[in-house]
Structure 1
Amino acid sequence: MSRSTIGILVNGVTGRMGYRQHLVRSLLAIREQGGLLLRDGTRLWPEPFLVGRSETKLREIADRHGLTNWSTDLASALARPDVQIYFDAQVTSEREKALRAAIDAGKHIYTEKPLAGDLAAAVDLARRADAAGIKHGVVQDKLFLPGLRKLDRLVRSGFFGRILSIRGEFGYWVFEGDWQPAQRPSWNYRSADGGGITTDMFPHWHYVLEQIFGRVRTVTAHVTTHIDRRWDETGAEYQATADDAAYGIFELDDGIVAQINSSWAVRVHRDELVEFQVDGTQGSAVAGLRECRIQHRAATPRPVWNPDLPSTDDFRAGWQTVPDNEEFDNGFKAQWELFLRHVAEGAPYSWDLWAGARGVQLAEAGLRSAREGRRITLEELSR
């Protein structure tokens, strides 16, 4: 069986997401399975080229995994003819400039979100990529999670009847960093460095809502910084200037209303770190990262409000678990394989930079809604 190598610049590999999910659990995992089998029988072999700012960290990662290509010079790496794809998992503030350079170098683009710091820049990147004739995609990993795959299956089967509403809860307590280390890097909480939960999470909620339920038409949001003092990786106290909680109401096609709360200042009292409850005329579902439970109209109990007596109903017991019915691979790896097929075979691929730009549009509109105290309508983006 023949093998074809495809060179991939991985920028931001020293970060947690770039290293764990994209390098180890995606690209190296594809190599461990013998490469990606293409339609013509060829095995596509991803060859990562690591790029970053720390020579020490890059060398250590490369040595750990038997990789030989790494550099701190992005320009020279982009000039290599044996590199076909540029992937970006850097901090948001560094992404736009690097993506522009990669597009100018004629590389195919695959990138983490958000695509850019503002809508104008995101749209410009998408237009430049189209004009360059390159393949391009943005990570939309939550669509590939088992819980949301099951939820999508329910929608496509017509289980819900007419969908009425969606309620999402996401978040957990991120320690301030004084007496326990924070679970997230300090730049997340500084607006000057591109931090903020609205910029981070609204692009996620956009593609979940758009791809599974329908186009997002309007947003009404309230954002805030609940914890204004934190401690960085060196133990130094700093002022948290970025929002750490965002509360949004989204109106979708067909009158569907979605409410999603996102917070890094909330303690978890739910089965998973993110959960979506979908209610329809014929049934309801609660989906998390992995599990999904349903209650059909015919099996819905008839509770009666009476605060004077203790409730004897076990409401959770009335929900049925949705079976897997298939094997679910790592979501990041699954999307990497689809993008590689898109580049190598021209296979269909819908999660392009325009999808990423629409996510940036929602985040920008959410922040504007919070500033102005009103509902914002999302206009269709012009190509």
Structure 2
Amino acid sequence: MTRKTVRIAMNGVTGRMGYRQHLVRSILAIREQGGLELGDGTLLWPEPVLVGRREHALAALARRHGLDHWSTDVDAVLAEPDVEVYFDAQVTAAREESIRKAIAAGKHIYTEKPTATGLEGALELARLAHEKGIRNGVVQDKIFLPGLLKLKRLIDGGFFGRILSVRGEFGYWVFEGDWQPAQRPSWNYRAEDGGGIVVDMFPHWDYVLHELFGRVVSVQALVTTHIPRRRDEDGKPYDATADDAAYGIFELEGGAIAQINSSWAVRVHRDELVEFQVDGTEGSAVAGLRRCRVQHRSATPKPVWNPDIPATDVFRDQWQEVPDNAEFGNGFKAQWELFLRHVYAGAPYHWDLLAGARGVQLAELGLKSSAEGRRIDVPEISL
């Protein structure tokens, strides 16, 4: 077995997602398992180079995990010839410029979404990477969740017949920061810093819908800011200039309709923080992060509306649990492994910067739909 060390610049790993899911649960987890076998006698060994703005935080992470390489100078890191991959988990507003620099330096690109603050910038990144001939990928983690993997299994097996509709509920109550600290960073609620639930979540809904049910061909959204005043990490009050809730209706290629509510101002009364109900002519399913339950046409009860008597049906008990039938690992790690195999073994991979631009497009058109109060067609994009 030939061991190949791959140095990966990881920008933004002092943030919650960059640290927990990408550094610890993905790259360090690959190292803990002994590396990544490529199937041709090569063992890939990822060597992270931590990049960020806060020197003390980077040094602390490096000490905690026994890592030797970190820097606050992204330009210097990109100039190192043996750094082959650039990963970005920064705040959205800082991402586009850094990815441009990494492309210019000839690095392979793997990045969180959204890839840019607007469609024009996102498409330009995809074009630049294509012209440079570098491999590129965008994190699309939710399709690797156990619940959605089970849902995909049902779709591929023809369980639903003709799919009629998809209904999604996502969100939870994010504390305002006064009597309890907020569990999301304050920049999420400032539009000037790239915040907003539409730019955060609509790119997710684009790839979930596209991968499982069909391309989004139109969007109609109502976007609002339910909590206009919050407190930041230092307890200082600030105006929430970004949207914290979005109610979207998406028409899909093939005729199915998806309706997805996204909110950081909702209290959870469901089994998981995100759930999708799919209804088809032959059966229905409800999928969350991990669980998936089904009700087939042959086992569908016949409810009768009668408000004069108490309901006797326990509707949740009328659904059947979909078994795991497989071992599901961390979705972020699974996609990292696919991307690294794509870069170093030529394995197929289609979650690229163009796919990321499609998510930015849906967010942009969702905001436009809300501002103009109308349904908007979503044209196909290309390089």
What are the residue-to-residue correspondences of 1:1-383 with 2, within 5 Å?
A: 1-383=1-383
1:296 aligned partner, one-letter code: H
Partners of 1:380 and 1:350 in 2: CA distance: 16
Figure out how many residues of one structure are paired with residues of the other and give that number: 383
2:56 aligned partner, one-letter code: T
Structure 1 consecutive aligned stretches of length 4 or more whose deviation exceeds 4 Å:
none
**Deviation of residue 313 (structure 1)?**
0.6
1:74 aligned partner, one-letter code: V
2:325 aligned partner, one-letter code: N
Structure 1 residues without counterparts, runs of 5 or longer? none
Equivalent residues of 2:354, 2:382 under 8 A apart: no
Equivalent residues of 2:277, 2:286 under 8 A apart: yes
Partners of 1:321 and 1:372 in 2: CA distance: 42
Partners of 1:311 and 1:298 in 2: CA distance: 22
> Secondary structure of 1:80's match?
coil
Partners of 2:145 and 2:316 in 1: CA distance: 23
Equivalent residues of 2:220, 2:370 under 8 A apart: yes
**Deviation of residue 382 (structure 1)?**
2.8
Partners of 2:162 and 2:369 in 1: CA distance: 28
Partners of 2:378 and 2:152 in 1: CA distance: 24
**Deviation of residue 2 (structure 1)?**
2.0
The two structures have a TM-score, normalised by structure 2, of 1.00
Partners of 1:280 and 1:127 in 2: CA distance: 38
2:307 aligned partner, one-letter code: P
Percent identity among equivalent residues?
Answer: 73
Deviations 1:34-65 (A, max 9, x none): 00011112110000000000110000000111
> Secondary structure of 2:28's match?
helix
Structure 2 residues without counterparts, runs of 5 or longer? none
Partners of 2:206 and 2:307 in 1: CA distance: 38
**CA RMSD after TM alignment:** 0.5
> Secondary structure of 1:110's match?
strand
> Secondary structure of 1:333's match?
helix
1:276 aligned partner, one-letter code: F
Partners of 1:69 and 1:33 in 2: CA distance: 21
Partners of 1:107 and 1:247 in 2: CA distance: 38
The two structures have a TM-score, normalised by structure 1, of 1.00
**Deviation of residue 199 (structure 1)?**
0.3
> Secondary structure of 1:328's match?
coil
Equivalent residues of 2:187, 2:195 under 8 A apart: yes
**Deviation of residue 254 (structure 1)?**
1.2
Equivalent residues of 2:173, 2:267 under 8 A apart: yes
Partners of 1:378 and 1:316 in 2: CA distance: 36
Partners of 1:130 and 1:378 in 2: CA distance: 23
